[in-house]
Chain A
Amino acid sequence: MDMTGEHTISAPREAVWAALNDVDVLKLCIPGCEEIEQTSPTTMEAKVVQKIGPVKAKFAGAIELLNIEAPASYTIQGEGNGGVAGFAKGGADVSLEETDDGTILRYEAHAQIGGKLARLGSRLIDATAKKLAGKFFDNFQEHLNGPEQPEEG
């Protein structure tokens, strides 16, 4: 499953970059995130509850930041184990471009699911992933700018 998106955020690039690297911000913005803990400057551990179709599971997983080009881009990669529900893993190349209106955030994300999640939820994964990504950026934008209609990519 692959998806791309673009969001304009009314904040300077430095501020967006800082937020993208702030564990507390991520916790607020990642849908279903129950816990997130920084384990090193580039790694985190998280617990996220998600429902994909009929399967609801708590994913315990690790998140890693790679290819860091502050404040322009990074790759965020994660892998979560949902027990008998299966697993989910994925990543996104995220880049920030400074403009007159603020910052354009672009991402190219890919995700893979396995086990029961794939058996029961594969037809729903695209829609679910889009919804979750949308929710994340809504939250993110709201955190930086206050409520505003995001631009869909």
Chain B
Amino acid sequence: MANGATGIGARVKRKEDKRFITGKGKYTDDVRMENQAYAAFVRSPHAHANVKSIDKSAALAMEGVVDVLDGHQLTGDEIGNIICGWAVNSKDGSPMNMGAWSALATQKVRYVGDAVAVVIADTQQLARIAAEAVEVEYEELPVAARADKALEAGAPEIHDNAPGNLIYDWEIGDETKADAGLAAASHITEMEITNNRLSPNPMEPRSAVATYDEAEEHYTLYTTSQNPHVARLVLSAFYNVAPEHKLRVIAPDVGGGFGAKIYIYPEEITCLWASMKTNRSVKWTSDRSEAFITDAHGRDHISTAKMGFDENGKITGFKVDTIANLGAYMSLFSSSVPTYLYATLLSGQYDIQNLHANVRAVYTNTVPVDAYRGAGRPEACYLIERMMETAARELGMKPAELRAKNFVRQFPHETPVIMTYDSGDFDANLAQAEAAADVAGFPARQGEAAKRGKMRGLGYSCYIEACGIAPSAAVGGLGAGVGLWESAEVRVNPVGTIEILTGSHSHGQGHETTFAQIVSERFDLPIENVAIVHGDTDKVQFGMGTYGSRSGAVGMSAIVKAMDKVEAKVRKIAAHQLEASEDDIVIEGGEVKVAGTDKALGWHEIGLAAYTAHNLPPEMEPGLKESAFYDPSNFTFPAGCYICEVEVDPDTGKTEVVQFTASDDFGTIINPMIVEGQVHGGLAQGIGQAMMEQVIYDDDGQLITGSYMDYTMPRAADLPFYSVHHASTTCPGNPLGMKGCGEAGAIGSPPAVINAITDAIGNNNLSMPATPQNVWNALQAASAAQAAE
């Protein structure tokens, strides 16, 4: 019942990497259909404008152009508007103000990149040239490019049904208690905190290939999706493309998602519809420039926060006011990100009794904003952990000491913002991180750096997040339009090999390896005998997909449930054939045995017996295939402590991350190598957010960071060698005790970096990204303030 070489806890090399590193992966853009045409979108160069007219004649006259389609034709065919699938009500009970979003704009464009028409042509090149020949006449309108400005009186309104551009004004927690807690405080730390806007940048850009079969009235869509079943559900139930049984969605190899590939975008809808209109397969593949103006952006919060402390450093009250920019339209899960995925985590690792958060979500003339690796939790973590570090400095306490004074130590712990932390050991992760980072030796390293003219600083982040989203009834009560369970099917073939069909989707996470490991562990079989099938709605019955670090805690739990059923049947067959009691059957070493005897059947013999059905227990159905749906009982709560050490060059502001230490509690770890890889990638994205990345719109709503010339991604040379450790507690909520590791690095790291830099330069007032210019300016402000004293 256990397999040391390839079971749980083994550092198994990734099975999928053979095809990935030899260039044999099969991505959506690799799909070539017979009679395939190409789509190119005609996009608005204006952030806000009325569409006066569209002249297609020149494009239509070009040889090789199949058709030019616009939004009037799309809505004429009753293709539905794109919706946000999570209803969030304002605190006065009114529903959120969701503006209409047509896949192709008809009356008005609301951001640079909003599509107004699509050209279908024989080649991609031709489609792009013809798109240039489509003449669109616009009447420009005033622009609201920033969330705070969009809320000001007199700001241009983007949707008729969202007065003042307000989508909702939502709250959580008890304001009266939070005010009382702050009033009772002996010290209050107050900060304005911005969480910078990011572009997700998966390595593979989005792509879609749609085919309509006229005879069967059936559609097939290959697409870069993290959740093909959710895509099919939404395309069918809301966008009216085709009923589910007439629509197959395949998400083959997908090169990274980070949230951006959860949503169903205008391009996929348009390709499906255009394949029916033109009776051609229609392919669209984004280029990097197009990705910057079509992939949902992340973060973009402006917050003010007040945290009160008593004379012992205990938190007495915490109040947060946040403005969240959701862009020009509400993307699929956009409403949940700054509410249930953000404000519910504002208690951090701390026992805070009096907590209140208010969130206003706002329309602006920018690309829609939705979940990006961490989704709300990085924003919460950044806010709390900047506050804690700053408060410690103001109170003259050690940052670790102030945190430890407030740690939650009793589990389960109910926060005032609806979360129930089920397990954790925050002290253990703090202690392990401090030891691994040699915090005791920091003053010596700082002194040595000073001799070299460098300012060295150290910063902490003690993060907690919520993964494994989530109990379906609970999220349903909070407005989610879907249940968030997962499904699995375990098929034991007549020769004994096993196929696992899962509703999770792997786009870099290594499921083909880790999912096989839990099967190898359970049935003590070689991992080569296990195959993982995912990403095709015709093969897998249903699934909710991969996001929110849910594939382990939820997806694998469904597999475990199905394996329980398989094991029960295997025991029955073996007991029958070996004339023993089911309780005496053990599964090990590729055999099914009667304990304490030499009676045994090979695992493959059980498979064969199940399918020949010559000698099965009475009443037993033939075959060996079981399925299960698993609905979690709670979120899971990964947590940890990150410590960052930086050196700042005071002459230039250039900052180097010289040491980064992580200690995480992810619960049970299936494959430590893959988990370390997830942490490394998450830390790189978090350090990227902290120091380099920022989407910038000018006041006219023009995106001015539209290429890698202006949007800086972290590279290997910008990053240190990480020191990654674990101090785990078992999650009581799922059978494997897993918590999830996919987002922690991106959630926990930004405040550690900024806390380290602000420690180095002696100025708490520094915003992300900490570019050399921003750091240098903060340094000058600090020395000016010092001179004035």
Question: Is A153 interfacial (CB-CB < 8 Å)?
Answer: no
CB of B698 within 8 A of CB of A119, answer: no
Looking at the assembled complex, report how far the CB atom of A73 sits from the nearest CB atom of chain B, in whole angstroms. Answer: 27
- Residues on A with C-beta less than 8 A from B53 are none
A113 vs B132: C-alpha distance in the bound complex, in angstroms? Answer: 17
* Chain A residues closer than 8 Å to B289, beta-carbon distance: 116, 119-120
**Residue A86 at the B interface, CB < 8 A?**
yes
Kindly identify which residue among A83, A84, A122, A123 contacts B702, using a CB–CB cutoff of 8 Å.
A122
Distance in angstroms between the alpha carbons of A53 and B705 in the assembled complex: 14
* The residue from B47, B133, B706, B710 contacting A116, defined by CB atoms under 8 A apart: B706
**Contact between B132 and A122, CB atoms less than 8 A apart:** no
In the bound complex, do residue A115 and residue B45 qualify as a contact, i.e. CB atoms below 8 Å apart? yes
Q: Does A112 contact B (CB under 8 A)?
A: yes
* Min CB gap A148→B, angstroms: 37
Q: Which of B42, B46, B132, B707 contacts A119 (CB 8 A)?
A: B707
Check B700–A116 contact: CB distance below 8 A.
no
- The main secondary structure of chain B at its interface with chain A is loop
Asked whether A120 and B706 contact (CB < 8 A) given A114-B112, A115-B45, A115-B112, the answer is: yes
In the assembled complex, the Cα of A112 lies from the Cα of B45 at a distance in Å of: 12
- Chain B interface residue number, banded: 20 to 34
Name the A residues within 8 Å of B88 (CB-CB).
Answer: none
Structural contact, A119 and B292, CB atoms closer than 8 A = yes
Q: Please state if A119 and B700 are interface contacts (CB–CB under 8 Å).
A: no
Q: How far is the CA of A123 from the CA of B704 in the complex (A)?
A: 8
Q: A114 contacts B710, CB within 8 Å?
A: no
Check A84–B131 contact: CB distance below 8 A. Answer: yes
State whether A118 and B710 are in contact (beta carbons under 8 Å apart), knowing that A84-B131, A84-B132, A86-B45 are contacts in the complex: no
Q: Whole-angstrom distance between the alpha carbons of A87 and B702 in the complex?
A: 11
- With A84-B132, A113-B702 known to touch, is A120 a contact of B707 (CB < 8 Å)? yes
Contacts of A119 in B (CB 8 A): 112, 289, 292-293, 702-707
Q: In the complex, A87→B136 CA distance in Å?
A: 12
Residues of B within 8 A of A120 (CB): 289, 706-707, 709
Q: Mark A40-60, 1 if CB is under 8 A from B, else 0.
A: 000000000000010000000
Question: B700-740: contact bitstring with A at CB < 8 Å (1 yes, 0 no)?
Answer: 10111111011000000000000000000000000000000
Point out the residues of chain A lying under 8 angstroms from B710, CB to CB.
122-123
Residues in B with CB closer than 8 Å to A123 are: 704, 709-710
* Per-position 1/0 for B222-259, Cβ under 8 A of A: 00000000000000000000000000000000000000
What is the minimal beta-carbon distance from A55 to any residue of chain B, in angstroms? 10
- Nearest Cβ in chain B — how far from A93, in angstroms? 21
Find out whether the CB atom of B698 lies under 8 angstroms from the CB atom of A87: no
CA–CA, A116 and B132, complex, Å: 12
Query: Closest chain B residue to A117 by CB distance?
Result: B45
Interface pair A83/B132, CB less than 8 Å apart = yes
The 8 Å CB contact of A87, one of B45, B133, B705, B709, is B45
* Inter-chain contacts of A86 with B (CB < 8 A): 45
Contact indicator per residue, chain B 269-289, by CB within 8 Å of chain A (1) or not (0): 000000000000000000001
Distance of A111 from chain B, by nearest CB (Å): 12
- The reply to whether B698 and A122 contact each other, CB–CB distance below 8 Å, is yes
Q: Which of A119-153 contact B (CB under 8 A)?
A: 119-120, 122-123
CB-based nearest A residue for B40: A84
Give Cα distance in the complex from A115 to B128, angstroms.
15
Contacts of A116 in B (CB 8 A): 45, 289, 706
A27 to B289, CA, bound (A): 33
Of all chain B residues, the one with the shortest Cβ separation from A124 is B709
Q: Give Cα A123 to B709, complex, Å.
A: 9
Q: What is the chain A residue whose CB lies nearest that of B293? A: A119
- B467 → chain A, closest Cβ, in Å? 35
Residue interface bits A54-72, CB-to-B below 8 A is 1, else 0: 0000000000000000000
Contact A118 B703 (CB under 8 A): yes
CB distance from A138 to the nearest CB of B (A): 29
Docked Cα-Cα span, A120 to B292, in Å, equals 11
Nearest opposing residue in chain B for A1, CB measure: B698
Which B residues are CB-close (under 8 A) to A84? 42-43, 128, 131-132
In the complex, chain A residues whose CB is within 8 Å of the CB of B133 = 83
Whether B46 lies near A114 (C-beta < 8 A) is yes
Q: Which residues of chain B (37-54) have a CB below 8 Å from chain A?
A: 42-43, 45-47
Q: How far is the CA of A119 from the CA of B292 in the complex (A)?
A: 9
**Within the complex, which residue of A53, A83, A114 is in contact with B700, where a contact is CB–CB below 8 Å?**
A114
Residues of chain B in range 2-52 having any CB-CB distance to chain A below 8 Å:
42-43, 45-47
From B132, B706, B709, give the contact of A118 (CB < 8 A).
B706
Q: Which residues of B contact A113 (CB under 8 A)?
A: 702
- For residue B292, which residues in chain A have a CB less than 8 angstroms away from its CB? 119
Nearest A residue (CB) for B707: A120
Q: Complex: how many Å from CA A123 to CA B46?
A: 19
Query: Which A residues between 60 and 98 are near B, CB-CB below 8 angstroms?
Result: 83-84, 86-87
Per-position binary interface string of chain B over residues 106-127, scored 1 when its CB falls under 8 Å from any chain A CB and 0 otherwise = 0000001000000000000000
* Residues of A contacting B702 in the complex (Cβ-Cβ under 8 angstroms): 113-115, 118-119, 122
Within 8 A of A (CB), among B64-104: none
Closest Cβ neighbor of A60 among chain B residues: B135
User: Which residues of chain A are within 8 angstroms of B705 by Cβ–Cβ distance?
Assistant: 119
* B706 / chain A contacts, CB cutoff of 8 Å: 116, 118-120
Of the candidates B46, B112, B698, B702, the one having the most CB atoms from chain A within 10 angstroms of its own CB is B702
Complex Cα distance A116/B710, Å?
13
B707, A118: Cβ atoms closer than 8 Å: no
Chain B residue contacts of A115, Cβ below 8 A: 43, 45-46, 112, 702
In Å, the complex CA distance between A116 and B289 comes to: 8
Q: Nearest Cβ in chain B — how far from A134, in angstroms? A: 24
Q: How far is the CA of A115 from the CA of B132 in the complex (A)?
A: 13
A122 interface neighbour in B42, B45, B704, Cβ under 8 Å: B704
A114 cross-chain contacts in B, Cβ below 8 A = 45-47, 112, 700, 702
- Complex formed: what's the CA distance from A83 to B45 in Å? 9
Bound state CA distance, A53 and B36, in angstroms? 34
Hey, which chain A residues are within 8 Å of B707, CB to CB? 119-120
CB distance from A30 to the nearest CB of B (A): 22
Least CB separation from A118: chain B residue: B702
A122 to B709, CA, bound (A): 10
Given contacts A114-B45, A115-B112, 12 further A-B contacts (CB under 8 A): A84-B43, A84-B131, A114-B47, A114-B112, A115-B45, A118-B698, A119-B289, A119-B292, A119-B704, A119-B707, A120-B706, A122-B702
- A-B residue pairs, 10 tightest by C-beta: A119-B706, A115-B45, A118-B702, A122-B704, A83-B132, A86-B45, A114-B45, A84-B132, A120-B707, A114-B702
B residues at A contact (CB < 8 Å): 42-43, 45-47, 112, 128, 131-133, 289, 292-293, 698, 700, 702-707, 709-710
Could you list 27 A-B pairs, sorted by A, with CB under 8 Å? A53-B709, A83-B132, A84-B42, A84-B128, A84-B132, A86-B45, A114-B45, A114-B47, A114-B112, A114-B700, A114-B702, A115-B43, A115-B45, A115-B702, A116-B289, A116-B706, A118-B112, A118-B702, A119-B289, A119-B293, A119-B702, A119-B704, A119-B707, A120-B289, A120-B707, A122-B698, A123-B704
